[in-house]
Structure 1
Amino acid sequence: MDIGPGMALTARLKSGETLGDRVMKVDHAGEHGAVCIYSAQRWFARWRAPDMVDELDAFLAHERSHRALFFAELQRRGRGRCRSYVWCGIGGLMLGTITGIAGRGAIAATTVAIERVVLRHMREQIAALEGVDEPAVRTLTIIIAEEQEHHDLSAARLPSSGVWQRLIDPIVSVSTEAVIWLGMRL
C-alpha cells in the first residue's frame, strides 16, 4: 500500500460526490481526531505537563473551530460525515491518552508529526482544488495558518535530539498518512 505524498488525493468517489466533497469529509474526520487527541492530552497534562495546559487549550479551541468549519461546509454541500469519523475519534483518544501520560516531550512530538503530515496534505488539497472548488479552498486556507502555528510552537518545545521525536514521529506520521489514505477511499 503506497501512502506516500500525493496519494491521498486519489479517492474512490461515490456517485455525485466531488473531490472537494471527499476532502471536506476526510478533513472533518481528521479534525475530530485532533479534538480527541488534544482533549486527552490536556486531561493528563494537568499532572504530567501543567505548563502546557494553556497551549493545549488554545490548540483544542482551534481544532474545534476547524471541525465546525468543515461541518458547516459539509452541510452546505448536503454531505454527511466520513465513515472514518468515529475511528478518528477513537484513535485520537488512544493516542492522546498514551502521549498525555508520557508527558511534555511526547505531546509536542505528536503535534509536530501530525501537523507536518496534515499541512502537506492541506497544501496538496488546495493545489488540486484551486479553480475547481473555491469554497473548499477557502475553508482549507482559513485553517492552515493555525495548523502551522501548532506545528511551530510544538517544534520549539522539542530538543534537537529528543527520544520522543525519534520514537513517535515515524509511528504517528505513518498512522496519520494511513488514516487519510483510508478516509479518501471509504
Structure 2
Amino acid sequence: MHRIQPPAIDPGRIIKVNHAGEHGAVNIYAGQIAMARLRAPSLLPELAAFKAHEERHRAIFAKELKRRSLPRCRSFCLCGVGGYVLGFLTGLMGAQSIAIATVAVERVVLRHLRQQLLDIGTTDPDATTAISAILSEEQHHHDQSATHIRHAGVIDRMSGSVISAVTEAVIWIGMRI
C-alpha cells in the first residue's frame, strides 16, 4: 500500500511568514496607538510595550531571514497595511475592541507558533530558537488583553471570530505565495 506523505515542513517559509506576521502586529499596535490617544488613553503604555515586543520579534525573524539569505515574504506589505487598518478601526471603537482584537489575533498566532515548534522539532534548531524566543510574550499579550474584556456581547464575539478568521487566512496566504 502506498502512503501519501505530508508536504515537507519548510522552516524558511515559516520564518518568512512569521516575519510578515510580526510586521502586521507592529502595525496593528501602531494603528491602535494612533486612535487610543483619543478613545482609550489608559491603554497607551501597554500598547506601546506590546508594540516594542513585536518590533523585537520582527527583528528576530529578520535576522534569521538574513542569515538564510531569504527575501521577506510576499505577504509582508499585505500584513503591514492590513494590520494598520485593523488596529486603527479597533482603536477607533475603544478599549474593549482593542482587547478583543488582540486576543483574537494572539489566539491564532499562539496556535500556529506551537504547531510550528512541533512540526520543526529538532530539524532546524535556529528556527526553533527564533520561534521559542517570542512565545511567552505573545502569550502575555493574549492574557493581559483578555483582562480588559469586561462583557463580550454578540457583536464582540462575532468581531473576534472574524478577526481570528482573517488572521488564519493571511497566514494561509503567506504560506502559499
Superposed pair shares fold, TM > 0.5: yes
Alignment partner, residue 75 of structure 1: 66
Residues 1:182 and 2:173 aligned together = yes
**2:48 matched to which residue of 1?**
57
Change (3 A) 1:160 1:102: closer
- Contact 1:158 1:165 survives alignment (8 Å): no
Instruction: Return the alpha-carbon distance in structure 2 between the equivalents of residues 164 and 142 of structure 1.
Output: 34
Cα deviation 1:153-185 (Å, max 9, x = unaligned) = 000110243455313211101000000001000
How far apart in 1 are the matches of 2:159 and 2:21? Answer: 18
Judge conservation of contact 1:105–1:164 (CA < 8 Å) in 2: no
Paired position in structure 2 for 1:133: 124
Q: What amino acid does structure 2 have at the position aligned with 1:90? A: V
Offset from partner CA, 1:99-138 (integer Å, 9 cap, x none): 0100100000000000000000000000001111110000
**One-letter identity of the residue aligned with 1:178:** A
Q: What letter is aligned with 1:107?
A: I
Q: What residue identity is the alignment partner of 1:147?
A: E
Give ranges in structure 1 of 5+ residues lacking alignment.
Answer: 1-9
Root mean square deviation of aligned Cα: 1.5
Unmatched 5+ stretches in structure 2: 1-5
Which residue is equivalent to 1:30? 21
**Distance change in 2, residues 1:53/1:31 (3 Å):** same
Which residue in 2 is equivalent to 1:99?
Answer: 90
Structure 2-normalised TM-score? 0.93
1:43, distance to aligned residue in structure 2 (A): 1.0
Divergent runs of 4+, >6 A: none
Segment drifting more, 123-132 vs 161-170: 161-170
Q: Of the candidates 12, 22, 30, which is equivalent to residue 39 of structure 1?
A: 30
- Counterpart of 1:110 in structure 2 is 101
**What amino acid is aligned across from residue 58 of structure 1 in structure 2?**
A
Aligned residues: 172
The alignment's TM-score, normalised by the length of structure 1, stands at: 0.89
Q: Which amino acid aligns with 2:75?
A: S
Percentage of identical aligned residues: 49
Partner Cα distance (2:143, 2:161) in 1: 18
Contact 1:106 1:164 (C-alpha < 8 Å) held by counterparts = no
Partner residue of 2:156 out of 158, 161, 165: 165
